[in-house]
Chain A
Amino acid sequence: MAGIGGKSGESASSAFAPIRAWLIAPTWLMIGFFLVVPVGTMLVYSFLTKEFRGGVIWEFSLAAYDRFIFDRGLFGDEPPKLELTYITIFARSIVQAAIATALCLIIGFPTAFYIATRPVSTRAIWLFLVTVPYWVNLLVRTVSMKFLVRESGPLNTFLQWTGVISEPLQIINTDFAVQLGLFYSYLPFMVLPIYASVERYDFALSEAAADLYAGKWTILRKVLLPTVKPGIIAGCILVFVPSLGAFLAPDLLGGAKNFMIGSLIEEQFKGNAGNWPFGAAASMILLSMVLIVLLFYARRQSVRAGA
């Protein structure tokens, strides 16, 4: 019963209770008015009719969502045919984001593990090295990657100079370039949570397993990985979610063939050629996908907490 009261510092934890509404109100107002309301407005727009010069006509329509699945011809009067263009873009986005996540995991896990097992004094330096690129402007990073891997870029020059290849590699404007770009954008998001969970991992567990005749890789698989799984899952979500809606990497590295959701949405709001309701609908679908992933994750978390 000791936890109920009388502990030192207890009264301080509610010292600001009388004015807490005033303290939190600015946040409520800012995010509520400039994010929640806009998302609501966007939802409304996705059910409106497109205006040809950008913008909308206030008339209810399901056309924006219909367009994802059916092709009704240029004037919308032909019998509906199944339309695969947009479904393909969404599917490609999911696949690209998943591959980028896998790349981050393959490189990020050993890195995080290696850093977490360094002496405390050098750990901070390694972590610093991993986080510095995250602080560098995302556009600058993506442009740098584009510069490095382009056809006559330093990478190809270097590889040709060493004689590894005779013809320049076509990396730019491929799926791989996009994956590389996404990997480069979000790698720290994978390393940091895994690092945090490996750092908390008690290596006595590994020793206990070794003592019970488990080999190194068995220990990794059966003891360490299950223990640090929450960190791995958090890392995967932190990479997957932003990758799904990424714009810069697909746009700068992927070229026109490798369209992802981000580029599709962006195109709908560019100049007069766009289709605002369609862009709003695509955004809603992307948002729903992300929320589903996050809800799934949150439910897992609460199940774990309850167990």
Chain B
Amino acid sequence: MALASRNIRKYPGFFSMTLLCMVLLYAPLAVVAAYSFNDSLSITRWGGFSFRWYLDVFFGLEADKFRDAAWNSLSIAFLAATASTIIATAASIGMVRGGEFRAKPASFALISLPLMVPEIVTAVATLIFFSAIGFVRGYATILVAHIVFCIPFAYLPIEARLRGIEGTFEEAAQDLYASRGQAFRFVLLPLMAPGIVAGYLLAFIISLDDFIITNFVKGAGIETLPTAIFGAVKQGIKPNILALSTLMLLISIGFVTISYFVSRKGVKPGGHGAPETT
């Protein structure tokens, strides 16, 4: 018997499954990325390598549409992520450093509500609500809806980070003559920073990613990148869509890489298995 079969952590076939999993995850993206460089009008035949569809995205017939959609997507993601991160940071401090209070479980349930309600239900409810109060659908309605459902995504990493920061740091700061405000500014906030950055990036990506809610609340005459792509794909996949998709893929990968390094770089606060002492 080979040694591997005696290793309790190794099961035959698990590695193959992992490889299969990776292939399934990456094959579609890789194929789309490869075909985005296809110098052919047809998406089926390979006609040689070229950047023509990227040029088409930026300067072609639909360039204006895509540029407007990209501007809407990015500006909404920026604003929604900023607002939801600020709201979530405040909430996490209240929840983690606010002691025990009766409304705490209810508050937590409320924060995670956007995660529990199916996206399409949120979309329908928001659409009906804005229509019921007679609010004209457009940029503002998209932004508000995005802020709301980005809150839990920003909240979770920030809260996790804050929970990991031992209270002794703030006590030490106060012991060293810092006022509450100074202890927050010079000690707690810098220690929370990696969580805040991670929460911001996550919220940004989630907002950029959203299709369903945006599609419901956007109203006529305004598109974001996902709704624009969806509209185009409905007419059939064209090569410029492949190029646009690849660009979005690159943006996403850029973001994950940043957040990966941010979360690794963050100094580990405390983390002692503090023995019971009094």
Q: Which residues of A pack against B, CB within 8 Å?
A: 2-3, 6-17, 19-24, 26-28, 30-32, 34-39, 41-42, 45, 55, 106-108, 110-111, 113-115, 117, 124, 126, 128-133, 135-141, 143-148, 150, 152-154, 157, 183-184, 187, 191, 203, 206-207, 210, 216, 219-220, 241-242, 244-245, 247-248, 252, 261-262, 265-266, 269, 276, 279-280, 283, 286-287, 290-291, 294
Additional 13 contacts, C-beta under 8 A, given A111-B18, A139-B230: A6-B278, A16-B94, A24-B91, A24-B98, A27-B90, A28-B107, A30-B151, A31-B111, A35-B117, A38-B129, A128-B260, A153-B44, A261-B120
Q: Which residues of B pack against A, CB within 8 Å?
A: 5, 8-11, 13-15, 17-18, 20-22, 24-29, 31-32, 35, 43-44, 87-88, 90-91, 93-101, 103, 107, 110-111, 113-114, 116-122, 124-129, 131-132, 144-145, 147-149, 151, 155, 166-171, 180, 205, 208-209, 211-212, 215-216, 225-226, 229-230, 233, 237, 241-242, 245, 248-249, 252-253, 255-256, 260, 264, 274, 276-278
**What is the interface of chain B mostly: helix, strand, loop, or mixed?**
helix
Assembled-state Cα–Cα distance A45/B126 (Å): 12
Q: State whether A113 and B126 are in contact (beta carbons under 8 Å apart), knowing that A266-B120, A287-B117 are contacts in the complex.
A: no
Q: State whether A136 and B148 are in contact (beta carbons under 8 Å apart), knowing that A23-B90, A287-B117 are contacts in the complex.
A: no
A-B pairs with beta carbons under 8 Å apart, 14 shown: A7-B277, A7-B278, A8-B168, A14-B97, A27-B151, A38-B129, A132-B25, A137-B248, A140-B32, A140-B252, A148-B31, A148-B32, A154-B31, A247-B120
Contact present for B20 and A107 (CB under 8 Å): yes
Q: Which residue of A lies closest to B29 (CB)?
A: A144
In the bound complex, residues from chain A placing their C-beta under 8 Å from that of B44 are: 152-153, 157
B25, B95, B122: the one contacting A24 at CB < 8 Å is B95
In the bound complex, residues from chain A placing their C-beta under 8 Å from that of B95 are: 20, 24
Assembled-state Cα–Cα distance A291/B230 (Å): 29
A11, A129, A245: the one contacting B171 at CB < 8 Å is A11
Contact present for A245 and B120 (CB under 8 Å): yes
Nearest-CB distance from B184 to chain A (Å)? 9
**What is the interface of chain A mostly: helix, strand, loop, or mixed?**
helix
Contact present for B31 and A20 (CB under 8 Å): no
Contact present for B118 and A287 (CB under 8 Å): yes
Nearest-CB distance from B47 to chain A (Å)? 14
Assembled-state Cα–Cα distance A285/B15 (Å): 41
Q: State whether A23 and B93 are in contact (beta carbons under 8 Å apart), knowing that A8-B171, A38-B126, A294-B116 are contacts in the complex.
A: yes
Contact present for B166 and A9 (CB under 8 Å): yes
How many Cβ-Cβ contacts under 8 Å join chain A to chain B?
A: 306
Q: State whether A245 and B99 are in contact (beta carbons under 8 Å apart), knowing that A144-B31, A147-B31 are contacts in the complex.
A: no
Assembled-state Cα–Cα distance A274/B150 (Å): 29
Q: State whether A13 and B124 are in contact (beta carbons under 8 Å apart), knowing that A26-B91, A31-B111 are contacts in the complex.
A: no
Q: State whether A133 and B91 are in contact (beta carbons under 8 Å apart), knowing that A12-B171, A23-B98 are contacts in the complex.
A: no
Assembled-state Cα–Cα distance A23/B216 (Å): 31
Contact present for B148 and A30 (CB under 8 Å): yes
Assembled-state Cα–Cα distance A19/B97 (Å): 10
Q: State whether A42 and B147 are in contact (beta carbons under 8 Å apart), knowing that A8-B168, A11-B171, A290-B116 are contacts in the complex.
A: no
B26, B98, B230, B260: the one contacting A17 at CB < 8 Å is B98
Assembled-state Cα–Cα distance A157/B31 (Å): 12
Contact present for A2 and B125 (CB under 8 Å): no
B98, B212, B230, B277: the one contacting A14 at CB < 8 Å is B98
In the bound complex, residues from chain A placing their C-beta under 8 Å from that of B132 are: 41, 45
Q: Which residue of A lies closest to B89 (CB)?
A: A23
Nearest-CB distance from A279 to chain B (Å)? 6
Q: State whether A279 and B118 are in contact (beta carbons under 8 Å apart), knowing that A14-B97, A35-B148, A147-B35 are contacts in the complex.
A: no
B122, B166, B237: the one contacting A143 at CB < 8 Å is B237
Contact present for B8 and A9 (CB under 8 Å): no
In the bound complex, residues from chain A placing their C-beta under 8 Å from that of B43 are: 147
Q: State whether A27 and B26 are in contact (beta carbons under 8 Å apart), knowing that A143-B233, A203-B8 are contacts in the complex.
A: no
Contact present for A31 and B113 (CB under 8 Å): yes
Q: Which residue of B lies closest to A268 (CB)?
A: B124
Contact present for A39 and B111 (CB under 8 Å): no
Q: State whether A207 and B168 are in contact (beta carbons under 8 Å apart), knowing that A108-B21, A114-B17, A148-B27 are contacts in the complex.
A: no
Contact present for A283 and B124 (CB under 8 Å): yes
In the bound complex, residues from chain A placing their C-beta under 8 Å from that of B88 are: 27
In the bound complex, residues from chain A placing their C-beta under 8 Å from that of B124 are: 42, 265, 269, 279-280, 283
Nearest-CB distance from B89 to chain A (Å)? 9
Contact present for B128 and A36 (CB under 8 Å): no
In the bound complex, residues from chain A placing their C-beta under 8 Å from that of B149 are: 35
Contact present for A42 and B118 (CB under 8 Å): no
Contact present for A216 and B8 (CB under 8 Å): yes
Contact present for A286 and B118 (CB under 8 Å): yes
B91, B167, B260: the one contacting A9 at CB < 8 Å is B167
Assembled-state Cα–Cα distance A45/B125 (Å): 10
Nearest-CB distance from B146 to chain A (Å)? 10
Assembled-state Cα–Cα distance A114/B166 (Å): 33
Assembled-state Cα–Cα distance A16/B122 (Å): 32
A11, A24, A139, A294: the one contacting B226 at CB < 8 Å is A139
Assembled-state Cα–Cα distance A276/B130 (Å): 13
Q: State whether A283 and B90 are in contact (beta carbons under 8 Å apart), knowing that A107-B21, A143-B233 are contacts in the complex.
A: no
